[in-house]
Chain A
Amino acid sequence: MAKLLREPLEGFEAQFATPDPACGARVMFTGLVREDTNGATTCALEYDAYEPMAIKAMEDIEAEALKLFGIRRALVIHRVGHVLVGQIGVLALVESGHRKQAFAACEWLMNEVKKRVPIWKKDIGPNGEIWQHPLSGSLNPQSPGSP
């Protein structure tokens, strides 16, 4: 079940450790706040979210991943609020019988999260703050601080 959390995600991986005997593969993506991208320095990211809609969108994406890839588990956990460089901004977990589906599903999961979930990040650097939107001219695929 998808989550949006204000507290650090560090250590959260441990709760994924419960083994499913039917699964031979577990893939986890850990998105970290990066310090430097294309010369822009990031000190922290500030995540904003339309929380009810974001959780619904993440749950929809999880459910779609189960069907599309035939995997047994999909989970996305995203931070909101202030996240320092080096801290975790997002976690995505997939478990399946075999690694091929798990790798593919985990990548798809993150791509869909970045496309569809109403979450926004503000890049906080030494020279100011900027919301990462297309209008700012610095959105994906190489937005500063993006995991």
Chain B
Amino acid sequence: MTLPGPNPIVRNLDSTGAISVQVPPLKSGKGPREILFFAIASEIAKTRSIFLLLDENLTISQVRALLISAFPPLEPLLPCCALAVDGVIARDFDLLGPASTIAVLPPVSGG
């Protein structure tokens, strides 16, 4: 994938499109987290899921900012999206912790 211009917290990992996000200093362990995109978020991100290396001490608010860094076109949408961590809606000040999946959920429109 094509990443935005110079950005100290984003770098390409390999040619498969996987990207790594690092936020120095890393105070504790980090691991691959699957980021899931749905509906319009998936169309804008041009992917259904990616894996990011994210520090467990990140807050959800920081994760949101990192996602905007990695996917600038998501910037207008992300403030309106909920983030679900392992299937549970997270608040902005919650810590990411050891979660394995983060879902980007636009405002719902079922029914």
Residue positions of A touching B, CB distance < 8 A: 31, 47-50, 52-54, 56, 78, 89-90, 110, 113-122, 131-136, 139-140, 143, 146-147
Contact = CB atoms under 8 A, between A and B. Distances in A.
B94 interface: no
Contact of A121 (B84, B87, B110): B110
A48 B42 contact: yes
A41 B107 CA distance: 22
Contacts of B36: 50
Contacts of A78: 110
Interface residues of B, number: 19
A145 to B, nearest CB: 10
A53 B87 contact: yes
Contacts of B77: 133, 135
Interface string B50-85: 000000000000000000000000001100100010
Contacts of A146: 109, 111
B107 A119 contact: no
Contacts of A136: 40
